Structure 1
Amino acid sequence: MCGILGIVLANQDVNVAPELFEGAMFLQHRGQDAAGIVTCGSKGRLYQCKGNGMARDVFTQKRMSNLIGNIGICHLRYPTAGSSAGSEAQPFYVNSPYGISLSHNGNLVNSIELRNHLDEVVHRHINTDSDSELLLNIFASELDKFNKSRVNNGDLFTALSETMGRIRGAYACVAMLAGYGLIGFRDPNGIRPLLIGERVNKDNSKDFMIASESVVLKAHGFKKFRDLNPGEAVIIKKTGEPEFKQVVQPKLFAPDIFEYVYFARPDSVLDGVSVYRSRIEMGIKLAAKIQKIMKENEIDVVIPVPDTARTSAFQCAVSLGVPYREGFVKNRYIGRTFIMPNQQERRSSVRRKLNAMDSEFENKNVLLVDDSIVRGTTSKEIVAMAREAGAKKVFFASCAPPIRFNHIYGIDLADTKALVGFNRSEEEISKVIGADKVIYQDLQDLIECCKTPEIKNFEVGVFTGNYITGIEDNYLQELEKIRAQNQRLQEIQNGENLNNGFSVDACIDQSDMIDVKAEVDISIYNTGDH
């Protein structure tokens, strides 16, 4: 799961980099591992800044001043398939043909097949483990077939059609062809979100933005916007209106339901569904189930696990007629815990991330509400904190059903066997996390919270094991192999930090100590116009 952004400004004398940086701040929740911006100047020259770390760490004022041009794309990486090495920070770039830079949100499930094709048939060198680099090179190889000095929109749409016919999985992408313009496209199932908007300037010229969520469009004054349809692509030349085309036929429209449960900002609207309203509905449905299985007056107070579950927890309390209280205070300078690759780091991080207020727990039967339960490590720590604060009983409710399978489309939850819901009943899960009872949202109720007349199906493979695109043989084993490699690399890096005199906890706890290996490439390539 990543955040992607692309902007074309009508005024060619204005640099787009500052607006890309501001947009990155609105999408930072979608990726905190690495950040990158590539811009394009008037002569088709590309300028790049990318590296590991948060956007605020990578995009310093000095680096930003070197990003020239009125067209650009941005990427915020959340580590999934591939490693967390600085070389895998996006956008990715290929020189041939024409000079293409690409940002990708999602995961491809036939990456092994694609890697073999590029190696044995197309003979294109792949430098990282990232499936995003595979996607870019597949697109480049399709464009190469035209053997032209310059391409047009028709050629680009044809190349996209061939590319999307070859790749499988979840992908929302924004690409930039040097000296030409922006390209946006979305997978035939619409698993990952992508929107396009326009902003009218005082002189009636128009700026255009492609982004992962509506919140960044609204914040930047792009009042007219819409979702790209599944299988649809758009090309925005450096001058002129966008051109849309359905490059492949849409399949079963099934957005990833985890966007609404957890990942998207509550003030976003994705595919016509308000994230905030869907989370209110989750609270209503969850309360209805709790009323069926628990005794009246058994719950004294409802307390959310900050922050994503807050909306659902409040509505759950209202529906139950039980007081709602903020029992945990969050340290906002600590990142999301399940992104951390080491279990011991994750446990200690929870204590640094949240602090329980005794007054809200003491001598009470507490219902804790969270968006989901993944490994169970965080939930176990939170239950223990509630008991230490004086709670008599601790019930734990999840806005999502039990997560029993790997997420293969861009959220690095855990290997299947590491999931607390894998091969365990709800009673067994409650014992693992130390709660008196665990209550899960029913899957059909969750779907009802999000569906519309246009969207009746969702990608729910994490709950059922049935993935909307299917998976290649050995794909899950390959993911687990990559995760194991990443964990070993992280342990080595942590060891180096210890040798340098910093404790592991200190390096995680203090954002100023994040190792930011940003690079600014000035005049990467002068590719000219196409």
Structure 2
Amino acid sequence: MSDQIKHECGIAFIRLLKPLSYYQQKYGTALYGLNKLYLLMEKQHNRGQDGAGIATIKLDMKPGSRYISRYRSMASNAVADIFEYVQNKFVDIQENTPELMQDTEWLKDNVSFIGEVLMGHLRYGTHGKNSIENCHPFLRQNNWMTRNLVIAGNFNMTNVDELLEQLYELGQHPKEKADTVTVLEKIGHFLDDENQELFDQYKKEGHDNVAITHKISDHLDIANILRRSAKTWDGGYSICGMVGNGDSFIMRDPAGIRPAYYYYDDEIVVAASERPALQTAFNIQFKDVKEIDPGHALIIKKNGEVSMEQFREPTERLSCSFERIYFSKGSDVEIYRERKQLGRLLSEKILQAVNYDLKNTVFSFIPNTAEVAFFGMVDGVQQYVRRHQKDILLHKKESLSDEQLEELLSLAPRVEKLAVKDVKLRTFITQDADRSEMVAHVYDTTYGIINNHQDTLVALDDSIVRGTTLKQSIIKIVDRLHPKKIIIVSSAPQIRYPDCYGIDMSRMGQFVAFDAAIQLLTERGMWQVIEDVYTKCKASLLLPKEEIVNHVKEIYKPFSPEEISAKIAQIITPKGTVASVEVIYQSLENLHEACPKNKGDWYFSGNYPTPGGNKVVNKAFVNWKEGNNQRAY
């Protein structure tokens, strides 16, 4: 993606089902769980670079012993920093008493982070403050083991105000207005409730307090706690939780917006945001990794029992298509195939745009995440070439000269790597005043490939959000190669609407497609459309979220996608560009064809999977119209 955007976080979870001595004997180390957690987090490094954290729980510890450990970091390489901190706890032991590294019972009693339940989190900050307090996991502490709660997640809730009000009504007073706090406290409240109800029940039955403690631990109904907690949540979420006694869960929103995968056998239960991370870390096959069902939670009891329990009625599955286009690693075989198909489905539209003139067209891509879609696009062009050659040979071979036959058989797409990304330049760490200058140098190019003022350059990007990097860097750079025409192709449709489920795309003014529609309305004297939409959006904010519709769709309604694409091409073309510039976008129909299991397309279509999404998009428009740069949820 040429535009840098921050996005979804990543979760990692491991439950060891055997005693620690088992892993020491089989794998030669008592640190098996920690080593695997490190690998699971590093393999999801793409999902968060603003911070990370881990937490572990030791099972069946004696009273007075520390059984929960947590460490968080905001270092530039947070995952490595965390595990270096953990590793340092073993340095003296390894140097002075190495035999103790084989004694799992001693290690568990004396060294933190040696536990059977492990959780990891990688964070991308969206709008929240970027401080250590905002890094997951979050911990809710209590002297009762079964009232302790640790959570980490990949989530955003659209109705934080509503959830906060519910906490006030329960008698709580949260310390800040944040969805992480509200989720933690909501689950924590019903965890407390469950504890109290069980305590009262067992007390009536005549059990003493020590016996009650053990019975509560055995009979906590995690599914019921989650049902009561999540009843009014509106958002996308994959949330991992651990109770102090060792009960744990991974829950997924009813529309399956956020991803969550798991695997278990007689040794382990593991879960993560990405399937390839599980495959690599535990050497397991694609077919053995399952998705957590939408509206369900994978629950692992302290005794090792594993179940999938429904906590909310699943809705239509609208999993995030942006996961497939950009966010998730392309090493997932399904995602790899889908990205290739996204590129392949664009090939006909591209061929039409270059008038099928392959001799004078160079195909390239904007690194690094568009590469797989580029392979698919080239496949599509090659399929055209084969059809063309076959047609000529079947119907005109008698009239072909040797020279024409040679030219026909040599026909192939000209594929080159022209844009080169300088990974050392990280523009997001500079101030806004410096950003434009820095963006211009993020990419470089390969000179001498283009025939001056003769070739058309087709450059594939996986998506276009703001168009800033295209305007300030890429188009300027490739125009120096003197192509006749530059065609920028997006494997995603036009991004028209904000996200509110975990991606840092919540302000209307960020989107070049929105800017294009506003400019078109202005140029054609249709300002009243903007005013009418503003009035409707403003009025809708007084309604319950369930009654709100997306009025911002009316901004785009007067124009065809092609008209908006043409205006986008004008917007992203820098002054002084010699080559003509065209922009081609994926269609919604092709997106759904390529990603049939992940039809969540609200950024493109405005069709939000939860009622809160419509409220957010209308609020985002109101904010834009009023010059308010705040997020809309």
Q: Same fold (TM over 0.5)?
A: yes
Match of 1:263 among 299, 324, 327: 327
Counterpart of 2:109 in structure 1 is none
The Cα shift of 1:181 comes to 3.2
Q: How far apart, in 1, do the equivalents of 2:620 and 2:163 lie?
A: 14
Does 2:599 match 1:458? yes
Q: How far apart, in 2, do the equivalents of 1:178 and 1:28 lie?
A: 28
Distance 1:165 1:361, change over 3 A: farther
Residue pair 1:8, 1:181 contacting (<8 A) in 2 also? no
Any idea what the Cα deviations from partners look like across 1:331-385, whole Å, max 9, x if unmatched? 33455x6x66965554344445432111344633211101100011012121111
The Cα shift of 1:168 comes to 1.1
SS in 2 for 1:254: coil
Counterpart of 2:148 in structure 1 is 99
Counterpart of 2:477 in structure 1 is 385
Counterpart of 1:300 in structure 2 is 361
Match of 2:584 among 421, 435, 439: 439
The Cα shift of 1:41 comes to 2.4
Distance 1:132 1:340, change over 3 A: farther
Does 2:380 match 1:241? no
From the CA coordinates, give the structure whose radius of gyration is larger: 2
Counterpart of 2:447 in structure 1 is 358
Q: How far apart, in 1, do the equivalents of 2:503 and 2:80 lie?
A: 23
Any idea what the Cα deviations from partners look like across 1:151-191, whole Å, max 9, x if unmatched? 45662100111122121110011111123132111001001
Residue pair 1:197, 1:210 contacting (<8 A) in 2 also? yes
Q: What amino acid is aligned across from residue 264 of structure 1 in structure 2?
A: S
Range with bigger deviation, 300-309 or 124-133: 124-133
Any idea what the Cα deviations from partners look like across 1:224-277, whole Å, max 9, x if unmatched? 3210111111112344231221222211111011110110111125xxxx0000
Match of 1:207 among 257, 260, 268: 268
SS in 2 for 1:372: coil
Residue pair 1:88, 1:130 contacting (<8 A) in 2 also? no
Query: Which one has the bigger strand percentage?
Result: 1
Does 2:510 match 1:418? yes
Counterpart of 2:339 in structure 1 is 279
Q: How far apart, in 2, do the equivalents of 1:478 and 1:390 lie?
A: 40
Counterpart of 1:309 in structure 2 is 370
Counterpart of 2:379 in structure 1 is 318
Match of 2:20 among 12, 19, 30: 12
Distance 1:354 1:80, change over 3 A: same
Q: What is the percentage of aligned positions where both structures have the same residue? A: 27
Q: How far apart, in 1, do the equivalents of 2:10 and 2:433 lie?
A: 28
Q: How far apart, in 1, do the equivalents of 2:620 and 2:430 lie?
A: 17
Residue pair 2:257, 2:600 contacting (<8 A) in 1 also? yes
Q: What amino acid is aligned across from residue 317 of structure 1 in structure 2?
A: V
Distance 1:151 1:333, change over 3 A: farther
Query: Which one has the bigger helix percentage?
Result: 2
Match of 2:422 among 331, 334, 337: 331
**Structure with greater contact order relative to length (CA < 8 Å, sep ≥ 6):** 1
Residue pair 2:507, 2:629 contacting (<8 A) in 1 also? no
Counterpart of 2:316 in structure 1 is 252
The Cα shift of 1:323 comes to 1.9
- Structure 2 runs not aligned, ≥5 long: 1-7, 22-29, 90-112, 200-212, 383-412, 517-563, 574-579
Match of 1:47 among 69, 76, 80: 69
Residue pair 2:257, 2:319 contacting (<8 A) in 1 also? yes
Any idea what the Cα deviations from partners look like across 1:479-523, whole Å, max 9, x if unmatched? 979x9579xxxxxxxxxxxxxxxxxxxxxxxxxxxxxxxxxxxxx
Residue pair 1:50, 1:58 contacting (<8 A) in 2 also? no
Does 2:493 match 1:401? yes
Q: What amino acid is aligned across from residue 378 of structure 2 in structure 1?
A: A
SS in 2 for 1:135: helix
Q: What amino acid is aligned across from residue 67 of structure 2 in structure 1?
A: R
CA RMSD, 1 decimal: 2.6
Q: What amino acid is aligned across from residue 241 of structure 2 in structure 1?
A: A
Q: How far apart, in 1, do the equivalents of 2:321 and 2:137 lie?
A: 26
Q: How far apart, in 1, do the equivalents of 2:591 and 2:613 lie?
A: 28
Q: How far apart, in 2, do the equivalents of 1:128 and 1:345 lie?
A: 33
Distance 1:458 1:376, change over 3 A: same
The Cα shift of 1:214 comes to 0.6
Match of 1:123 among 152, 171, 174: 171
Q: How far apart, in 2, do the equivalents of 1:305 and 1:437 lie?
A: 15
Counterpart of 1:290 in structure 2 is 350
